[in-house]
Structure 1
Amino acid sequence: MWAKLALKLFSREFKRGELTVISAAIALAVLTVLTLSMVTDRIGQSIAQKSSAFIAADRVLASNHQLPTEYLQKAQEQSLRTAKITYFDTMLFAGDEMQLGSVKAVSDSYPLKGELKVKTRLTSDAIVTDEVPKTGEVWLSESVFYALNIQVGSQVELGAATFTASRVVAEEPDAPFNVFSSSQRILINERDIDATQVIQPGSRVFYRQLYAGEQSDLDTFYAWLKPQMKENQQWYGVKDRQSPIANSLNRAESFLLLAGLLGIILAAVAIAVSAKRYCERQYDPVAMMKTLGGSRATIRKIYLLHLSLVCTMSVILGLVIGYSLQMIASDYLAQSMGTELPSASAKPWLIAVSTGVICAVMFSIKPLLDLFDIPPLRVLRRNLGDRLLVSKIHLAMSALTVFLLMWLFSNNIKITAILFTSTAFLIVVLFGLSKLIFGGGRKLGLSPGNSWSLAIASIQKRANVNAVQLISFALAIKLLLFLIVLKNDMISDWQSQLPADAPNSFLVNITEAELEPITSFLAERDMPTSDFYPIVRGRVNAVNGELVAREVSLEDNEKKDEEARSGIGRELNLTWRAELPKQNELIDGTWFTENSVAEASLEESMLARLDVELGDTLTFLIGAQSFDAKITSVRKVNWNTLKPNFFIILSPDVLQSFPATYISSVRVNKDQKREFSELLRQYPTVNAIDVESFIKQIRSTIEQVSLAIGFVLAIVVACGALVLISQVQASLGERMQEIVILRTLGAKGRLIKNATLYEFLLLGFTAGLVAAVVSDVALLIVQKQMFELAGKLHPHIWLIGPAAGGLFVACLGYLMIARTMRKNTQGLLRSLG
């Protein structure tokens, strides 16, 4: 019986539009979360797949010792593609010429991701190949051909074997972005390693196993692999390596995650407001049912069924619209990126449905309980039940709901806690400010019959409602300003790191005698360079007289000295310099002076790695010579710049007596390539490292990320606008009553319209002002903590925020009630009835 009545009431209210507000809010939450989740998921997969080319695979297993072949067999059984790489350095001979080069022995399946480009002649264009050197063949980088003075097709000797130099290596997908690594690449087939007889006990060899496939298969394989991994083995992906592309990907991922979390907050606010408004509109029907003998249990069943039906319909509607929107957006983004986006996983669907159901239940349960407590006497005294206050339990439940939804979406408790706490603090501050601002309005001496007076009076009358509206407006504006400014700062930071004239090559191994003629050569041909840095190889041997632990060989069963101080188990590239490099920031201590003697400046991560502080003394070992240097400064280094950077810089007096080679970065335009090649022919011992392809891939990734960020931002802007609409909609009934009263008292239509416009203008201006200040302060924290950007204030948004907030809220609010104001008094009374 009650079910039949519930369905009739539901049908009537649905036709009257009573359920549209809460239905739209739930659908909004679902479609927002689904669209954001699916688009970010698909774009994230696309960027990750494209970026995997930087390591030629999805994942890499690295070791300085031989890796078991069982790993590859197991991976292949789990549908993963595999490849092998072996690195070692050796001499290459051609007639009377010789050259030290870096050998890269690859399996036939290399590379798993990315493209290998070669040239058939030194002067021909690079082409993509899906092959690797055949047995008996060797592919060499251009500089090796110049150093050995040979052409394609010449014979060269590598260890005990003779090879044909059949190709020129132009680009490797996994070329290391390390300017100190050898650019003298020698590419051979792994089946030729034994023939060279180069690898002997004690040889310095590096082994890599490459893996590619579905993420689920990779996760399954790693779960099997992890317990068997040794201390000298490392499993990593592209985002695990310290490089500009890894930093860009991590920043983009953090931004998309942040935007999604803020979108959830806005959607939750819309549902909370709409649920409370819907229940308030049901006070009179509930009172009527109680006077007609309806029991509390029957009424509870009726409205719980209504809630279930609304939730189901809204979730389905939100899923349909959200899926359609993400398809449209993904197609557009795919065309813009020039690639096909992968299919989204099941996670966005789960998160979207969970968001809709959880929001509908958790934000509606307390208003529904209040609805069931409406007294039957309300049919006679219409004000009974109007002042049911929001309980602490409801606030706690709502806060817990938002926190759980953010945690579900981000799967990161730290980011969730930071955003949730900052948002909660913002709400408390805004509520206090709203009380202060609206309370202060009573002291203004405004004349009767004035639109401004009527607007102030309306704000004072609905102080509590307007406080909630102000919080919602300010929160929405704050989040929008926050994301817009953060997006611009991120892209500006990326572009500043990679300007159009960024260096695209490095010159390494320049001797003192070659420094002046090479500098002149580049200057005469207008090839801009960074500073030339001297380099001496050395290691940190002791700290304050205490020896540091050296690198041990697990293969030779050497044991680590547990009592030795932690240090760096390899040689470092040391340099000296009188001035602080431009891409470095001094964060502690003082830089060298003319009178500095035996001083050292450390990069901040090196300071932590060595566990030292200012004033400590480091002992360096270069060959058989040792010397001490006192730490006098700490630097923050921007590793994303395409310029030489160093962990340790020494004062000029320390290293000037040691023989050194020099390094610099240079910008070579396309029409200068031949002249640059002539320089390499003149100085065959100088290594040139081309990073042009690396720069192109970084810029391509940044463009994709920028498109993704722009779309996500558009969704959040739309979500923010809908939150504002839901807030205005919530007060529409009360505003209709005021219009009827004012018209009855003889107020002119122009006075009412202006008063309404001014009221929204004041609310929007106040919300925009508070939002601008709070968002700017929050940006300082988030930029440093989450994005490693230089935090700075943005005074311009302190003007834009109030202006945009006042204009946007005023226009939006006025447009929403314009139809109401066009109705005559009789029509308004019928709508209220």
Structure 2
Amino acid sequence: MWAKLALKLFSREFKRGELTVISAAIALAVLTVLTLSMVTDRIGQSIEEKSSAFIAADRVLASNHVLPAEFLDKANQDNLRTAKITYFDTMLFAGDEMQLGSVKAVSNTYPLKGELKVKTSLTGQPEVTTEIPSRGEVWLSESVFYALNIKVGDKVELGAATFTASHIVAEEPDAPFNVFSSSQRILINEADIAVTEVIQPGSRVFYRQLYAGDKNNLDAFYAWLKPQMKENQNWYGVKDRQSPISNSLNRAESYLLLAGLLGIILAAVAIAVSAKRYCERQYDPVAMMKTLGGSRAMIRKIYLLHLSLVCSLSVIVGLLIGYGLQAIATDYLAQTMGSVLPSASAKPWIIAISTGVICAVMFSIKPLLDLFDIPPLRVLRRNLGDRLLVSKVHLAMSALTVFLLMWLFSNNIKISAILFLSTAFLIAVLFGLSKVIFGGGRKLGLSPGNSWSLAIASIQKRANVNAVQLISFALAIKLLLFLIVLKNDMISDWQSQLPENAPNSFLVNITEQELEPITSFLAQNDMPTSDFYPVVRGRVNAVNGELVAREVSQEDNEKKDEEARSGIGRELNLTWRKDLPNQNELIDGAWFSENSVAEASVEESMLERLDVKIGDTLTFLIGAQSFDAKITSVRKVNWTTLKPNFFIILSPDVLASFPATYISSVNVKEEKKREFNELMRQYPTVNVIDVESFIKQIRSTIEQVSLAIGFVLAIVVACGALVLISQVQASLGERMQEIVILRTLGAKGRLIKNATLYEFLLLGVTAGLVAAIVSDIALLIVQKQMFDLAGKFHPHIWVIGPAVGGLFVACLGYLMIARTMRKNTQGLLRSLA
């Protein structure tokens, strides 16, 4: 019997719209989480897949010694595509000319990701190829042709073998982005390694195995591989590399994760407010049922069934709408990105359903318990039950629910904890501030018949309700400002790193005699350059007189001296200059002065690696000569700028007597390519590293990331707007009663309308101001901690926050109750009944 009554009551309430608010809130939570999760999941997979071209694979296994063939066999069994690369340096000969180059021997399946582009003549255009050099062929970078003074089709000697230089390597997907690495690229077939006879015991050789395939297969393979890896082997993906693209991807991933977490907070607030409002509107029906003999158990069953039906229907609607939204969004994004986005995993569906069910249950427990306790006498005394106490246990459980949902969504307890605690602190501050603001309003001189006076009086009367509304408004505005400003700062930072006139080539190995004519040539041909840095190769040999550990060879079974101090097992590129480079920031100590003698400035990560501090003395070894330099400053270096950067910079007096070569970066416009090639012909010993294709890939990826971020931001903005709507709807019933009373007392319609508008305006301005200040403080912390951006204040949002908050809340609130105010008094009384 109770089930039939429950269904009949559910149908009646559904038709009357009593369930609209809570149903919409639950559906909102589900569709928000599903859309955000699926969009970020699919876009993240797409961007990572495209960015994998930077390493020519999904994952790479790097080693300083030969890798077992069984690794590749196992990977093939796990349905992974594989390839092999072997790197070594050697001399290349053509007649009387010779050139040191970096050999890259590849297997037939190279590259697994990305495109290899070649030219068939020095003046030809790059073309994509799916081939690799045939046996007996060698493909060379353009600078090698100039250095050896040969043309396509000529013979060259590499080790003990003779090869035909059949193609020019224009672009490699995994070309090393290291301005100090050799630009003299030599590509051969791995089957030709043996005939060169270059690799001998003790040769310096590097090995790579490339893997590509499904993420689950890659994870399973790595689980098998990890126990067998040696200490000097490294497994990495594109996001693990220290490069502009990996930094961009990691930042974007953090932003999308942050947006999703904030979206969950907003959805949870909407459900909590809606559940409370729905239960409050059921006080009278429950009191009536109890008066007519309805038992507590029967009422409990009726409303638990209502909750189950509402939850089920809302989750289904949310899933359908969410899936439709993400389909529309990802189709548009796929067309913009020029690729088909991968399918989403099952995780977004699980998270979305869990979010809807958990929020509906947890945020409805306390309001439902209050509903069951409504006394029958309420049919006579309508105010009974209106002042039920807030349960601290329920608040704690609700807070724990939000935290668990954030943790479930992010799978990162640290980020979840930071955001949760900062939001909880914000709510506490806002609640206390609202009490002060609304309480202080009582001291204002109010005049009867004034719209402002009526608005302030209304705020005072609903102090507790308005405190909750203020918190909700401020929280929504704060999160929106937070995401919008962070997005703009991130994109501005990316664009500042790669402006239109960013250097697209590096000139390396310029001698002292070549410096002046090359500088003049570039200036005459309108090719802007960065500073020219002198470079000397040297090793940190000791710290404060204590020798550092040297590099050992695992292949030769050398043992590391465990008692030696930690150091750098390779030579560093050292430079000297009077002025601090503009892409460097001095974070400790003082820069060199005119009287500096034997001083050194160390980059912050190198400071930690060497375990040194300002005042320590470093001993350098260059060839057979050693010298000391005292650390006087620490620098933070922006490695993402396309300019030369150094771990250690010395004062000019230290290295001035050492022979050095110079390095610089230059911007070569397309119409200046011919003149630039002429420079390469005139100075064949100068290494030219073209990073144009690298810059294009980075810009393309950043555009895709920015587009994804913009769409996710739009979803969160919509979510924030719906939270504001749910808050306004929560007070509609009480506002209708006030309108009836004011009209009965003779108040004019214009007075009531203006008072309502001013009330929302005051709430919006206050919420916007608090939100802007708190948002800016939070941004200052998050930018440094999560995104490695220069933290800064944004004074403009302190104006934009109150202005937009006041305008938005006022317009939204007024529009929502405009229909109510258009009703006559009799119509309002019927609605209240």
Distance 2:541 2:10 in 1: 80
Match of 2:144 in 1: 144
Alignment of 1:309-708 (within 5 A): 309-708=309-708
The aligned amino acid for 1:701 is T
The aligned amino acid for 1:373 is D
Deviations 1:776-816 (A, max 9, x none): 11111011111111111111111111010000000000000
CA drift of 1:263 comes to 0.6
SS for the counterpart of 1:350 is helix
Match of 1:227 in 2: 227
Match of 1:14 in 2: 14
SS for the counterpart of 1:482 is helix
Match of 1:295 in 2: 295
CA drift of 1:561 comes to 1.2
Query: Is 1:173 matched up with 2:173?
Result: yes
The aligned amino acid for 1:574 is L
SS for the counterpart of 1:230 is coil
Normalised to the residue count of structure 1, the TM-score between the two structures is 1.00
SS for the counterpart of 1:387 is coil
The worse-fitting range, judged by mean Cα deviation, of 802-811 and 335-344 is 335-344
Match of 1:726 in 2: 726
Distance 1:293 1:116 in 2: 82
Distance 1:514 1:328 in 2: 58
CA drift of 1:284 comes to 1.0
The worse-fitting range, judged by mean Cα deviation, of 664-673 and 334-343 is 334-343
CA drift of 1:372 comes to 1.0
Distance 1:540 1:490 in 2: 36
Distance 1:263 1:323 in 2: 17
CA drift of 1:345 comes to 1.0
Distance 1:604 1:197 in 2: 43
Match of 1:798 in 2: 798
The aligned amino acid for 2:194 is D
CA drift of 1:659 comes to 1.0
Match of 1:32 in 2: 32
SS for the counterpart of 1:621 is strand
Distance 1:381 1:543 in 2: 85
Distance 2:374 2:76 in 1: 67
The aligned amino acid for 1:444 is L
CA drift of 1:608 comes to 0.6
The aligned amino acid for 2:483 is L
The aligned amino acid for 2:298 is T
CA drift of 1:373 comes to 1.1
CA drift of 1:374 comes to 1.1
The aligned amino acid for 1:613 is K
Distance 1:568 1:807 in 2: 59
The aligned amino acid for 2:379 is V
The aligned amino acid for 1:106 is V
CA drift of 1:623 comes to 1.2
Deviations 1:298-344 (A, max 9, x none): 11111111111100000000000000001111111111112211111
Distance 1:619 1:388 in 2: 75
The worse-fitting range, judged by mean Cα deviation, of 341-350 and 110-119 is 341-350
SS for the counterpart of 2:157 is strand
Match of 1:52 in 2: 52
Distance 1:350 1:132 in 2: 45
Distance 1:281 1:362 in 2: 19
CA drift of 1:709 comes to 0.8
Distance 2:786 2:442 in 1: 43
Match of 1:195 in 2: 195
Distance 1:17 1:301 in 2: 21
The worse-fitting range, judged by mean Cα deviation, of 100-109 and 342-351 is 342-351
SS for the counterpart of 2:201 is coil
Distance 2:540 2:368 in 1: 69
Distance 2:276 2:780 in 1: 35
SS for the counterpart of 2:506 is strand
Query: Is 1:306 matched up with 2:306?
Result: yes
SS for the counterpart of 2:549 is coil
CA drift of 1:115 comes to 0.2
SS for the counterpart of 1:641 is coil
Distance 2:118 2:710 in 1: 37
Percent identity over the alignment is 89
Deviations 1:420-458 (A, max 9, x none): 111111001111111010011001101001111110010
Match of 1:748 in 2: 748
CA drift of 1:46 comes to 0.8
Aligned structure 1 segments of 4 or more residues deviating by more than 4 angstroms: none
CA drift of 1:417 comes to 0.8
Distance 1:692 1:295 in 2: 78
SS for the counterpart of 2:257 is helix
SS for the counterpart of 1:86 is strand
Deviations 1:148-194 (A, max 9, x none): 00000000000011100000000000011100000000000000000
CA drift of 1:591 comes to 0.4
The worse-fitting range, judged by mean Cα deviation, of 99-108 and 546-555 is 546-555
Give the count of matched residue pairs: 833
Match of 2:70 in 1: 70
The aligned amino acid for 2:537 is R
Distance 1:418 1:400 in 2: 14
CA RMSD of aligned residues (A): 0.7
Distance 2:511 2:381 in 1: 96
Match of 1:263 in 2: 263
SS for the counterpart of 1:570 is coil
Distance 1:638 1:434 in 2: 43
Match of 2:758 in 1: 758
The aligned amino acid for 2:257 is L
The aligned amino acid for 1:204 is R
Match of 2:113 in 1: 113
Distance 2:623 2:730 in 1: 78
CA drift of 1:349 comes to 0.6
CA drift of 1:28 comes to 0.2
SS for the counterpart of 2:200 is coil
Distance 1:270 1:289 in 2: 29
Query: Is 1:93 matched up with 2:93?
Result: yes
SS for the counterpart of 1:567 is coil
Match of 1:250 in 2: 250
Deviations 1:11-65 (A, max 9, x none): 1111111111100000000000101111111111110001000000000000111
SS for the counterpart of 1:49 is helix
Match of 1:42 in 2: 42
Normalised to the residue count of structure 2, the TM-score between the two structures is 1.00
In structure 2, the gaps of 5 or more residues are: none
Query: Is 1:770 matched up with 2:783?
Result: no
Distance 2:519 2:663 in 1: 11
CA drift of 1:389 comes to 2.0
